[in-house]
Structure 1
Amino acid sequence: MTTTYVIDGARVHSLQDFWTALGEAVNGPGGYFGRGLDSLTDCLRGGFGTPDDGSYVFEWRGHAASRRALGHPETARYLEGILARCHHTNRGRVAEELAQARAGRGPTLFDILTGIFADQAPDLLRLL
């Protein structure tokens, strides 16, 4: 039997809201299921509330609203934070990604997040 976790896209107005909605979908109110891109990858590999046998999927309902909320402006805001604290050897790359996001180009946080799900398993995420 497959467990289905529902992400309520209507609640996602920022990246922080996504982490909250995701954590609560898996582990209930106040639940944790990653608070960063790397930790999301780790959590999707199991052991943080999902069945150990991998028999689960996520349904991102109302994903269109989340797609807008996690678009280029939110991506730029996220990258500004990364740029402020990244290692000096990464600053050029992050600055370029930030310039692209500010110009409305390049991948958005929504693209990045859905890509992480797809990298773990092609059918792990259903956009509804």
Structure 2
Amino acid sequence: MTRDLPVLVVDGTRFDDLDGFAREFSRLLSGYTWRGNLDALNDVLRGGYGTPTDGWVLRWVGSETSRAALGHPETARRLERLLPSVDPSNRAAVTARLDAARRGEGPTLFDEIVAIIRDHGPGGRESADGIELELS
């Protein structure tokens, strides 16, 4: 018997960059605002930041629109903003990722966000969080 999980919906047509995605995702949270930091997204998905307890479904409608909005140009923009604060020991790696994004290569922000969410669901390293991602 499959249990009914709460469904939270992100509308990919309501934003066109990471800041917009953060606002749209934060709209789902009770009493917490996520500001777009991907490490903090992991924390939010672990629970205690306004998400349902005991698992939930994240239904991402308009995900193909989001795939384009959070593509290589937005990935490069995010990395450019991060670079000045990156620890010197990580600077070369971030610069390489930035160069790849500028060439239209490598994982995009969309890819990274989807991977983080899936890590908290079936088969993921943090599957106990019980988050099921539906892209549509």
For normalisation by structure 1, the TM-score amounts to 0.91
State how 1:44-123 maps to structure 2 within 5 Å.
Answer: 44-54=45-55, 56-122=56-122
Moved more, 110-119 or 33-42: 33-42
For residue 27 of structure 1, give the secondary structure of its aligned residue in structure 2. coil
Q: 2:16 aligns with which of 13, 16, 22?
A: 13
- Measure, in 2, the Cα distance between the counterparts of 1:58 and 1:74: 22
How far apart in 1 are the matches of 2:132 and 2:78?
25
What is the distance in 2 between the residues matched to 1:25 and 1:36?
Answer: 16
Alignment length, in residue pairs? Answer: 125
Which residues of structure 1 form unaligned runs of 5+? none
Deviation (angstroms), 1:48: 1.1
Larger proportion of helix: 1
Provide the rounded CA distance (Å) in 2 between the counterparts of 1:108 and 1:96.
14
- Pairwise CA distance, 1:34: 5.3
Percentage identity across paired residues of the two chains: 44
Match of 1:23 in 2: 26
**C-alpha distance 77-34 of structure 1, shift in aligned 2 (>3 A):** closer
User: TM-score if structure 2 supplies the norm length?
Assistant: 0.86
Deviation of 1:82 after TM superposition, in Å, equals 1.2
Q: Distance in 2 between matches of 1:34 and 1:3?
A: 23
Which segments of 5 or more consecutive residues in structure 2 lack a partner in the other structure? 123-130
Moved over 2 A (4+): 25-28
Q: Which amino acid aligns with 1:126?
A: E
CA contact (8 A) 1:8 1:21 kept: yes
Q: Which amino acid aligns with 1:86?
A: V
Matched letter for residue 10 of structure 2: I
2:41 aligned residue: 40
